[in-house]
Structure 1
Amino acid sequence: MFNKKTLAVVIASTLGLAACSNSDDDMITSAQVDLRILETSDLHTNIMDFNYYSGQEDKTIGLARTASLITAAGNESENFVLVDNGDLLQGSPMGDYVADQFKKDLGIAAGETHPAYKAMNTLDYVVGNIGNHEFNYGLDFLEQAISGANFPYINANIYCDAYDCWNELQRGDNLFTPYLIQEKEVVDINGNKHTIKIGYIGFVPPQVLQWDKQHLEGKVRADDIIKTAEKFVPQMKAEGADVIIAIPHSGIGSPENPGEIEAENATYALSLVDGIDAIVFGHSHSVFPSENFGGIENIDIDKGTINGVAAVMPGRWGDNLGVIDLKLELKEGKWSVMGSQSEARPIAWTDDNGDNAYVEADQSIRDAVEQEHLGTLEFVDQPIGVGSANMYSFLTLVQDDPSVQIVSDAQLNKVKQQIASIPALKDIPVLSAAAPFKAGGRHEVPSDADQYVQVDKGELTYKNAADLYLYPNTMVAVKLNGAELKDWLECSANQFNQIDISSTAPQNLINWDTHRTYNFDVIDGVTYQIDVSEPSKFDNDCAVIEGNETAERITGLSFEDEQGLVHTGEELAAMEFIVATNNYRAFGGKFAGTGPDHVVLELPDENRDVLAQYITAQTAEHGVVKTEADHNWSFKTLDTATALDVRF
């Protein structure tokens, strides 16, 4: 698992467990030390500050820019440690490029160092945790890749489940080193030196066995995060750990049911495990502390604590650096955490003048991966599949559109696969919500031509996937009833102005002023019509418009089940559905049937990656991927004798 340098670090750490003394004065009985913990997480091989889909520099992402924050934050503190929380090896075209080289017995298979580690080895990482996406390319790839890291890896809840795993591990053994206790020399506020023992323990969602079944089934097992922590944290304390830092690749989870067995997002529950002093977490690509988590019981977003435990989550793709400052106090030979402050430092922000501001890139990171960067540029121009028809979004606001349809189809396919093994969800009908992202500009200027999807039939590349799905959203599914489904569509239909069927004057159909086109959700799996002669029930924030409480623009809403039975009206309103969508929509709570209480499936996969994988899989199976709209929605014909002049 580890290269020789890493093994030396682990051995030295283990041998050092018996030697804990003050470097300057063994007789010092009280002291105060400021310890800073820095965290990166969910880099997803975004090492360069570059968007490989658009082919342009992107100042809002990349370890090349996060590295500058790391240097600055380290210079501010005499005592700091730097850790990575995983989801490092997959998620960008560079990650796919390296994996492709591995399959061809090139790159890391030939002894090369993975570009992620070429970059990270220039920094002072002390430990890395395994994320769920580390398994995406298989165990052989993972073993080869992390052998290039000049720092050790940990994970406590993945076990060997075969008679012969790597490195002579046997069934029941931890697949990775479950935890490490490292000695660190620190300087107290009076300038005296001390040696403290810092314990690190890592976790990954047990759901890896579902997400990467093809790579892991029969080879490993994944245990519950909380039960694993309750097993190992006392051991770490018994072995002399002065400070324990948990590194769960896991989102916050719910305070309502923190004891849920095998929970994917278990950080809230982990904060209740006795003995953990700080939590640096990730996985859900959110930023903590932030206003997004305000109002949650026992979470302090000003200090950055969960149940009083210091915590931080630094977003994704290197857009933030996690920073925790612990105040440690030595009393009677024992170190304790007396206070903390957490923050996520961004690499891009809006300054006091309202202008965009950015951290400068660290050129040494760029230089470290220059070879792989050039290789990736060639790689993204390679085909990922073949489209059956043109995908142009010129008419996407007035008819069902292929550029929206293919995204919806990919989401639907992914969620159906994921819930097939979840008894509570597998029998619920799955629908999919997608919106047009490039639907034209708001003014008649030449640059409007750039604001449409224009993908020709035939060969499709990664760049085409970016054209079809602009945003770095992740896959989420919500559960709702048919009545909520109808109101979701009613709010989407606010995209259109009300048409007066008795007027011959010109009337604009599209509500450009208050309704954004990315909020015009089309929901596939049902059929319906939109009656634009009716007033909108909702405004652009999905709030009911006073006086329009009974308005109905959505007509003929129906669902046909697998047996061919068609459900409408009150019967449909009472049915349950799962809707595949993105994290922005699912957690936003704006549309009926959305919000945290409705979320039943949260995947770390980006919608754009799901789309690219769908194109490849469909092409492999059928020769092409269907890139045509199914026309499940349309406008209701307006019954009027008046010659209408409706414009869009």
Structure 2
Amino acid sequence: MTRRTVIGGAAALAAAGFQTVPAYAGQGQDKTVRLSVLGTTDLHGNVFNWDYFKNAEYDDSAHNDIGLAKISTLVTAVRDRIAADRHAPRPLLLDAGDTLQGTPLAYYYAKIEPITGGHVHPMAAAMNRIGYDAAALGNHEFNYGLDILRKFQSQVRFPLLGANAQDWTTGLPAFPPYMLKRVHVPGDKPITVGILGLTNPGIAIWDKAIVENKLTFGGIVELAKEWVPKVRAAGADIVIVAVHSGMDLSSSYGDALPYPENTSALMAETVPGIDAVLVGHAHLEIPERFVTNKATGEQVVLSEPLKWGMRLSLFDLDVQKVHGQWKVVGRHSQVLNANTVDADPQVVTLLQKDHDTVVGYVNSKIGTCTEAMSAATAPWEDTAALDFVNFVQADAVAKALAGTPQASLPVLAIAAPFNRAASIPAGEVSIRDVAGLYVFDNTLLGVTMTGVQLTEYLEFSAQYFKQVTGTGPFPSSQVTNAPTPTAPNGTPDYNYDILGGLTKPLTYKIDIAKPVGSRITDLAYDGTPVAADQQFVVAVNNYRQSGGGNFPHVKTAPVVYNRQVEIRQLMIDYVTTTGTVDPKAFHTGDWSLVSNGVPITVTV
């Protein structure tokens, strides 16, 4: 689906949502100069507006477009507009992290043809072509190991900043903390811009296996308090922070670390000397937010440009000389929409070969399946397709917990029927076949839950079913997708969770003749009724663990595993490694629908 309506220039900016912001109108002897700063974040390996798993142009319900090729067109349009004003300085371009992971394009050049062999990473090539000035490290920069990250660092023509990424032994910065950029002002002294980069402390948990004994990660607020004065002392007239941390205070890892995960607004509020913040990590669209610093009373402007290159943040900082020094006297920000422009043909040409290589890889055969697995009936009967997802999730968590206090606990997994159209054929299997079973970019966590919590969780999930009596046969529309107060048009399939065991079966029945809240019967683990206080480790995706769907207990359950690994990639890796998928190895009849205790029949 093509949604591009304009190509570039002023029309592109207008269509992208650009709004002209009045310049600072205060009194003063010196002129006001507007410095513009552009920003991206959470690009996650996206260069092209392409969904590799669907083998088609990217599209979503909001008709967003993605990728650096489109961002390049927006950046050029802004630069051209500013260049038309001979008195305005050239804008800066920054990124707030999470560049190296997220698409098959990124995966291919980390794992299949790693850039350590000499190939220039497509994200490095694209960002160099567009002309970035600096980028903060994101947590996903560490996913593929320090060798890949250091090679990427050597390939980009701009610094990767991370003031709180510190050497394990010395505590000194392992990456440049900041950079000073002298911006030419026609007819006047240059503006010295200090750009401070901060990354997420959660890396210490999420990529522990990679960074332990090598790198440590201090708190964002704590290190900003240390480094902002240093940046000012080094000569910065303006300080901009690119930080890979969400806007509002929260932590997915609870109190497992002494430093919060999401703390951008708190940093702006408590650390003096910051003028603007490019926010990343949370995948939210926040065009403009103002925070008043408690120490100085000065306003700080913050912006987060969604994800994947869907948006481009544009900061306008009005600066004026006060006692001979440049000072920010006015500040605004907005976001521009990438779905209004064509891809930059120069970026496309530069990376077309890499793109084609990865398209071929994703459609390549990686193994075989002994018998077909379909998700068509997964919402109302136990299927091998969903058991496969649960098996891979539980297996990954169980292996990671070896040697930990939780290693002796039974391991379960939760999956939902995301895509009824998905199937893995008998015979040869491609990456795309496997990916079809898991259409979201969720990552895997492991939490601990008790028997009574599992029961309440399953009862909540079972509200997905409409209340019917009799044994049927019922058409599936008469049984599934029940309306609820929070889903008046019907509970979506992705909010029906199915549980399964790894080494031993977790079995239960759902009696849909009963009212919501009293449907789960015969819940047993390895044939023994589950005790209320029995402890389990449960593999679950990050969307559910963070509160998505509002399922009980899982959001507050203790987290025992979180390496930020994509579930979809785990499934692909399993097939690639084993070479053969045999449903007999993991498919068991764990759950079933009954009516007043009697099995029912559901048809498509």
> Shorter-chain-normalised TM-score: which range?
0.7 to 0.9
C-alpha contact (below 8 Å) 2:424/2:434 kept by paired residues: no
Q: 1:625 to 1:205 in 2, by over 3 A?
A: farther
The alpha-carbon deviation at position 467 of structure 1 amounts to 0.8
What residue identity is the alignment partner of 1:613?
A: D
Q: 1:501 aligns with which of 463, 470, 479?
A: 470
* Range moving further from structure 2, 507-516 or 197-206: 507-516
The alpha-carbon deviation at position 428 of structure 1 amounts to 7.9
Superposition pairs for residues 169-184 of structure 1, below 5 Å?
173-184=172-183
Tell me if 1:125 matches 2:132: yes
The alpha-carbon deviation at position 626 of structure 1 amounts to 7.1
Q: Report the equivalent of 2:286.
A: 289
Q: 2:346 aligns with which of 364, 386, 400?
A: 364
Q: Report the equivalent of 2:85.
A: none
Q: Report the equivalent of 2:423.
A: 454
The alpha-carbon deviation at position 199 of structure 1 amounts to 0.9
TM-score normalised to structure 1 length: 0.73
Q: Report the equivalent of 2:184.
A: 185
Q: Report the equivalent of 1:593.
A: 553
SS in 1 for 2:71: helix
Superposition pairs for residues 357-396 of structure 1, below 5 Å?
358-387=340-369, 389-396=371-378
Q: Report the equivalent of 1:606.
A: 566
What residue identity is the alignment partner of 1:583?
A: Y
Alpha-carbon deviations, 1:275-296, whole Å to 9, x = none? 2222212233x11427xxxxxx
Q: 1:341 to 1:494 in 2, by over 3 A?
A: same
The alpha-carbon deviation at position 468 of structure 1 amounts to 0.9
C-alpha contact (below 8 Å) 1:157/1:174 kept by paired residues: yes
What residue identity is the alignment partner of 1:38?
A: L
The alpha-carbon deviation at position 154 of structure 1 amounts to 2.0
Q: Report the equivalent of 1:532.
A: 512
The alpha-carbon deviation at position 346 of structure 1 amounts to 3.3
Q: CA RMSD in A?
A: 3.9
Superposition pairs for residues 143-542 of structure 1, below 5 Å?
143-161=150-168, 173-186=172-185, 193-252=188-247, 254=249, 261-271=258-268, 272-284=270-282, 286-289=283-286, 303=289, 305=291, 309-348=300-339, 358-387=340-369, 389-415=371-397, 431-439=412-420, 452-475=421-444, 485-501=454-470, 509-512=478-481, 514-525=490-501, 526-535=506-515, 537=516
The alpha-carbon deviation at position 506 of structure 1 amounts to 8.5
SS in 1 for 2:107: helix
Q: 1:532 to 1:123 in 2, by over 3 A?
A: same
The alpha-carbon deviation at position 220 of structure 1 amounts to 3.5
SS in 1 for 2:572: helix
Q: 1:53 to 1:243 in 2, by over 3 A?
A: same
The alpha-carbon deviation at position 378 of structure 1 amounts to 2.2
Q: 1:184 to 1:419 in 2, by over 3 A?
A: farther
* Range moving further from structure 2, 248-257 or 31-40: 248-257
SS in 2 for 1:65: helix
Q: 1:35 to 1:283 in 2, by over 3 A?
A: same
SS in 1 for 2:390: helix
C-alpha contact (below 8 Å) 1:477/1:586 kept by paired residues: no
Structure 1: gaps (5+ residues): 1-27, 163-170, 291-301, 349-357, 440-451, 538-550
What residue identity is the alignment partner of 1:184?
A: V
What residue identity is the alignment partner of 2:437?
A: L
Q: Report the equivalent of 1:540.
A: none
C-alpha contact (below 8 Å) 2:53/2:435 kept by paired residues: yes
Between the aligned partners of 2:423 and 2:356, the Cα distance in structure 1 is 26
Q: 1:174 to 1:97 in 2, by over 3 A?
A: same
Between the aligned partners of 1:326 and 1:480, the Cα distance in structure 2 is 50
Q: Report the equivalent of 1:99.
A: 110
Superposition pairs for residues 7-26 of structure 1, below 5 Å?
none
SS in 2 for 1:631: coil
Q: 1:309 to 1:625 in 2, by over 3 A?
A: farther
Q: Report the equivalent of 2:592.
A: 634
C-alpha contact (below 8 Å) 2:301/2:332 kept by paired residues: yes
Structure 2: gaps (5+ residues): 1-27, 60-64, 83-87, 294-298, 482-488
The alpha-carbon deviation at position 529 of structure 1 amounts to 1.1
The alpha-carbon deviation at position 384 of structure 1 amounts to 4.4
Q: 1:553 aligns with which of 503, 513, 519?
A: 519
Q: 1:507 to 1:31 in 2, by over 3 A?
A: closer
SS in 1 for 2:47: coil
Q: Report the equivalent of 1:90.
A: 101
Between the aligned partners of 1:428 and 1:31, the Cα distance in structure 2 is 69
Q: Report the equivalent of 2:144.
A: 137
Q: Report the equivalent of 2:21.
A: none
Between the aligned partners of 2:568 and 2:291, the Cα distance in structure 1 is 33
C-alpha contact (below 8 Å) 2:470/2:595 kept by paired residues: no
Q: 1:603 to 1:82 in 2, by over 3 A?
A: farther
The alpha-carbon deviation at position 57 of structure 1 amounts to 2.0
Alpha-carbon deviations, 1:352-398, whole Å to 9, x = none? xxxxxx43222221111012112112222344455454321232122
Q: Report the equivalent of 2:530.
A: 567
* Range moving further from structure 2, 365-374 or 258-267: 258-267
Q: 1:214 to 1:495 in 2, by over 3 A?
A: closer
Between the aligned partners of 1:528 and 1:57, the Cα distance in structure 2 is 41
The alpha-carbon deviation at position 67 of structure 1 amounts to 2.0
What residue identity is the alignment partner of 2:278?
A: V
Q: 1:239 to 1:117 in 2, by over 3 A?
A: same
The alpha-carbon deviation at position 83 of structure 1 amounts to 0.8
C-alpha contact (below 8 Å) 2:30/2:321 kept by paired residues: yes
Quick one: percent identity of the two aligned structures? 30
Between the aligned partners of 2:150 and 2:533, the Cα distance in structure 1 is 53
Aligned residues: 546
What residue identity is the alignment partner of 1:635?
A: L
The alpha-carbon deviation at position 531 of structure 1 amounts to 0.3
C-alpha contact (below 8 Å) 2:101/2:107 kept by paired residues: yes
Between the aligned partners of 1:45 and 1:483, the Cα distance in structure 2 is 42
The alpha-carbon deviation at position 132 of structure 1 amounts to 2.7
Alpha-carbon deviations, 1:224-272, whole Å to 9, x = none? 3333322222211211212212222233462699996244434344332
Between the aligned partners of 1:116 and 1:506, the Cα distance in structure 2 is 49
* Range moving further from structure 2, 266-275 or 411-420: 411-420
Q: 1:637 to 1:141 in 2, by over 3 A?
A: same
The alpha-carbon deviation at position 634 of structure 1 amounts to 1.3
Q: 1:503 to 1:472 in 2, by over 3 A?
A: closer
The alpha-carbon deviation at position 305 of structure 1 amounts to 4.5
Q: Report the equivalent of 1:583.
A: 543
C-alpha contact (below 8 Å) 2:468/2:595 kept by paired residues: no
The alpha-carbon deviation at position 603 of structure 1 amounts to 6.0
What residue identity is the alignment partner of 2:464?
A: Q
Q: 1:276 to 1:606 in 2, by over 3 A?
A: farther
Between the aligned partners of 1:571 and 1:314, the Cα distance in structure 2 is 45
Q: 1:505 to 1:213 in 2, by over 3 A?
A: closer
The alpha-carbon deviation at position 463 of structure 1 amounts to 0.7
